Amino acid sequence: MRSLLIYLRNYKKETVLAPLFKLLEASFELLVPLVMAAVIDNGIANNDKPYVVRMCLIMVALGIIGLVCSITAQYFSAKAATGFATELRKSLFAHIQNFSYTKMDTIGTSTLITRMTSDVNQVQSGVNLVLRLFLRSPFIVVGAMVMAFTVDVKGAMVFVVAIPLLSVVVFGIMLITMPLYKKVQSDLDRVLLITRENLMGARVIRAFNKERYEQQNFEKSNQELTDAQKYVGKLSGLMNPLTYIIVNGALIVLIYVGALRVDAGILTQGEVVALINYMSQILVELVKLANLIITVTKAIACGNRIGRVFEEKAGIPEGDADGKNISMDGKASDEVFVEFDHVSMRYEGAGADSLNDISFRVKRGQTVGIIGGTGSGKSSVINLIPRFYDASAGQVRIDGKDVKDYKIKSLRKRIGVVPQRAVLFKGTIAENLRWGNEAASEEELWEAAETAQAKEFLVSREEGLSFKVSQDGKNLSGGQRQRLTIARALVRRPEILILDDSASALDFATDAKLRVAIRQMEGSPTVFIVSQRASSIMYADLILVLDDGEMAGLGTHEELLGDCGIYQEIYYSQFPRESEETR
């Protein structure tokens, strides 16, 4: 939590002024019982009405000044807390954006969302209350005890006993509840995970009639969160009654001692009232302090969770080679452009390699097809090229250099990736396509759309490129989304184009047109096509067949059809042998 305080650096003035004005308010508040004692002992006792009026005006002035100080302190503390949360959230989001795929897989999306939202809000509330009350409440408690000693030493001994007892209660409960609040936040992560999965998989849940099961699963997790909150709430709730018991017990003793000393002529009635007022101030402030400690305990627990995200190393180590070395002359050549040299890869926490000893070479401008059964490692292979994941053994080389030697940004700038899941963002189609190239002209956007076979349905819409895409592209069909994601990658004019099963929603005719259009693109990019369809990769210059993370075959369609059993099985499951013989 302490490491997060750096985000208050731009609000140093506010962090000083907020508690300062609160201390000024507290100072004026401590003077009120003395004024009240003077009114009773001097004004009322002597029936001096002008004196009473003067003292009452002084009390009003103290109240007004205290109110102004309080409002000013509230303003500065709120400004510092919201600014702190803004800076923290911005920095946390930027840090998460730099996480590698491996790190995102390890930490989990749901817990990152919780830490970005709920945890940051808890920390913001904690900072706000600390700036307002962390100095004020102890100052009032100690100040009231000191002022009580100026009134009567023997009467003030009640304060000496009561305040340590109150401190034991307050800090004891704080130490017990702090780890419990961490568990509450972890349970909240679980509820958020289930909710997120339900919303994203609503159609699947309905298709398999699993609504009742998901409701029970959610109710179970929600009940666990509720039980944890109730338990820690009960412990925190003990703070107020216990402090009330101690303070009211001290008040009883104080009234008894004060009555005896007034009867003996040692104290005046006004001084006893002042002592009772100081004890009441302590009661009010300790209640505030108790609430502050509960909030701060939550904030510290949440702050530590956020701090652990910052402790995670962002990004992946990169070299200093400039991606400009990856250059295209617009023509294919005999040079090896992309090379896998005995590459193996294992996902974080996995018990075995997902890829094992993969080796192949690709020349500039060639098209490579990657095919295999589900879970054979097709996506794992192409994820190594832009370094979404790193090889655990062997090397992936582009233009003769290990991809680890390139600057990440420079490397990925020259690679166009179309992932399996077509993701579009809320905004216009033009805005989505310009993710590939912010400076792309409208002509370039239409050219990319035409190559991706998306122009036809765009022209049919009156808005064209200005058509508004809803969140996640829900107002478009699956095929339209896929074509737009392909167009987005083409706008970049990549030197390496990776299509990760990105034409699964397209019909065979559109898929064929797309492949022809890509081959005819200016610059002849090196294309990697991952597909379950043999028809999508059969005309590739090189086909890589994978089986359970290992190479089962490498060659052209004709070569593999002759000597690769896995490829034959896949091909003949989609094309009858008779059609092959006829062809």
pLDDT digits (tens, 9 = 90+) for 391-404: 989 999 998 889 98
CB neighbour burial string for 75-105, b if at least 16 within 10 angstroms, e if fewer:
ebbbbbbebbbebbbeebeeebeebbeebee
How far is 150 from 152, CA to CA, in rounded Å?
6
Residues 346/349/350/351 CA torsion (nearest 10 deg):
110
Amino acid at 56: C
The more confident residue out of 226 and 295 is 226
Lowest mean pLDDT among 55-69, 237-251, 525-539: 237-251
Most confident residue range from 48-57, 288-297, 353-362: 353-362
The pairing of beta strand 550-555 with beta strand 401-402: unpaired
The more confident residue out of 246 and 342 is 342
Q: Quick one: pLDDT at residue 329?
A: 46
Query: What is the pLDDT confidence band of residue 334, given thresholds at 50, 70 and 90?
Result: low
Query: What is the pLDDT confidence band of residue 83, given thresholds at 50, 70 and 90?
Result: very high
Tokens of 170: 């307050």
Mean pLDDT over 323-330 rounds to 49
pLDDT at 352 over 80: yes
Burial (CB < 10 A; 0-12, 13-18, 19+), residue 363, is middle
List all residues 6 or more positions away from 459 whose beta carbon is below 8 Å from its beta carbon. none
pLDDT digits (tens, 9 = 90+) for 490-523: 998 899 999 988 877 787 888 888 888 888 887 7
Q: Quick one: pLDDT at residue 120?
A: 92
The more confident residue out of 470 and 332 is 470
How far is 52 from 49, CA to CA, in rounded Å?
5
Q: Show the domains of the chain with their CATH numbers.
A: 2-311 (1.20.1560.10), 324-582 (3.40.50.300)
Query: What is the pLDDT confidence band of residue 243, given thresholds at 50, 70 and 90?
Result: confident
Query: What is the pLDDT confidence band of residue 577, given thresholds at 50, 70 and 90?
Result: low
Q: Quick one: pLDDT at residue 174?
A: 76
Q: Quick one: pLDDT at residue 582?
A: 45
DSSP-derived 3-state class of residue 268 = coil
Mean pLDDT over 472-484 rounds to 86
Query: What is the pLDDT confidence band of residue 72, given thresholds at 50, 70 and 90?
Result: very high
Q: Quick one: pLDDT at residue 344?
A: 93
pLDDT digits (tens, 9 = 90+) for 426-447: 889 899 899 888 888 989 999 9
pLDDT at 108 over 80: no
Q: Quick one: pLDDT at residue 136?
A: 83
Q: What secondary structure, in 3-state letters, does 494-539 show?
A: CCEEEEECCCCCCCHHHHHHHHHHHHCCCCCCEEEEECCCHHHHCC
pLDDT averaged over every residue in the chain: 85
How far is 134 from 450, CA to CA, in rounded Å?
64
pLDDT at 330 over 50: no
